Structures are given as structure tokens and as C-alpha cells.
Structure 1
Amino acid sequence: MDKYCLECGEKLIGRVDKKFCSDYCRNSYHNKLNKDTKNLMRNINNILRKNYRILEKLNPEEKTKTSKTKLLAEGFNFQYFTSTYTTQAGKTYYFIYNQGYLPLENEEFYALVKRN
């Protein structure tokens, strides 16, 4: 019984459990298989990376305060973050990896923090 490459259809020679004729075909097959989710994940990761760079730029020390206007002017997107932390007092910090922010005073100002 002949087996054929799942990507290009070329006849396979070698191991019985072989599915692809080359590394190129194997990579190409899996890239096509995961293309839709990769675009979504790539776009979200780009937004997270941009948010992280903005927080890192505006918070060179461990803690600082900034305005919402300044964050928006840099292109910060408040819809994307990696985790939250709620204090015992009920305040919620939003984190992008180890860089975080806390809304203050009717969300016009933000406390920027760095978690070690």
C-alpha cells in the first residue's frame, strides 16, 4: 500500500509512519492548518507588546503616575492585558506581564507599577 505526502501528494519512501516527504512540506502543512488562529494571536500579541513598551517607557522607575490622555496619545489599548490583581481594599490592577496600571480619580489618571 503506497502512502503519499499530506502536503504535496508525492509518494513517500522510507519509514512506515512517515506523513511528509520533507521538512518543507511538514512545516507548510502545519502553517496552513494553524493559519487562522496564528493571525488572531499575532495581532493580540502585537497589541500586548505595544502596551508593554508604552508602560515601560512611561514607568522607568518602580512606580509613577500618568494621565489617560498621555497613555492614549502613545497608542495604549485598554482592552488588552494579561492579568488582573485585586487588592484587599477592592482596587483592581491590570497587568501586561510585569507592568501594571491602576485607574485613579474617575479613570483620568493611572498609577503605573512594576511587579518584580
Structure 2
Amino acid sequence: MRFYKTCLFCNKQLVGRTDKKFCDPQCKSGYQYQQAKEQPERFYNKVDNQLKLNRKLLKEFNKGGKVTVRARTLKEKGFSPKFFTHYWKNNKGDVYLFIYEYGFLKREEHHIEKYILIKWQDYML
């Protein structure tokens, strides 16, 4: 008695070994891609991706070492101030949040939310 199985990706009838699951490597790859896409992204990946995006944006906007940028501008590009790697508190008591070597401080001027962007310095140890 012969059991007929179908490819898990394209549903074509399989010919060959009895434990075969896919008709060719392309179907196997397509199936694995589809499965990965359907599974919820792991928490670690979400955090890591957001940290990378935050760092990229801070680096892109901070060309002069210390810059002030409207918060809305960064947030429109995907920046999230909830994700940071560490912080530094200056002598005035201001707490700068850092994403690796790029930091930001939230300020409000004339009812407009802004971020002061800085880069890590040796004296901040």
C-alpha cells in the first residue's frame, strides 16, 4: 500500500522517499520563509531593531557634536525614546539617555518638545 504525500509549500504530489516533505529546495526555502513571517517576532529582535534605528537616527541628526532637534522630527522617522542602553547624569542633574555612544535629553521650549543630542565623551565616565 502506498501513501501519497504532498509538498508542504506548493501541495504537489511528492515522488521519491517516504519521508520527503518538499518537492525541491525552492519550496523548502519558501515554506521556511513563510513560517518565519507568520511567527511573532521575538522580543529580543524587536528591542535590538529599535535600538539600531534609534542609534542610526541620532547619528544622522547629530553632525555637530551637540544639536537640538524637534522630537516630532525624530519620532516621524521611527525614533522611540523608550529604548536606550544607558544614561548619564550631569552636574546640573539633567539625565541624558544614551543609545550606545549617542545621547539625548528631552526639553520643552515654547511648548515644543525637543531633544538635545550629544555624543559620548571621555569625561562622562
Shorter-chain TM-score bucket reads 0.5 to 0.7
| Counterparts of 1:67 and 1:104, CA distance in 2 | 9
Pair 1:108-2:119 in alignment = no
Aligned-residue offset at 1:40: 1.7
- Structure 1 runs of 4+ off > 6 angstroms? none
Cα deviation digits, residues 34-72 of structure 1 (max 9, x gap): xxxx92212110000000001111112211110011111
Aligned-residue offset at 1:90: 0.9
Pair 1:92-2:91 in alignment = no
Corresponding residue SS for 1:79: coil
Corresponding residue SS for 2:42: helix
Higher share in helix: 1
| Counterparts of 1:88 and 1:63, CA distance in 2 | 17
Residue identity (%)? 29
- What amino acid is the match of 1:57? E
Aligned residues: 79
What TM-score does the superposition give when structure 1 sets the normalisation length? 0.63
Give the corresponding residue for 1:45: 48
- What amino acid is the match of 1:80? F
How large is the RMSD of aligned CA atoms in angstroms?
A: 1.7
Structure number, greater radius of gyration: 2
| Stretches of structure 2 lacking an aligned partner (at least 5 in a row) | 1-40
| Stretches of structure 1 lacking an aligned partner (at least 5 in a row) | 1-37
Pair 1:76-2:79 in alignment = yes
| Counterparts of 1:55 and 1:75, CA distance in 2 | 11
Aligned-residue offset at 1:88: 1.9
| Counterparts of 1:105 and 1:47, CA distance in 2 | 24
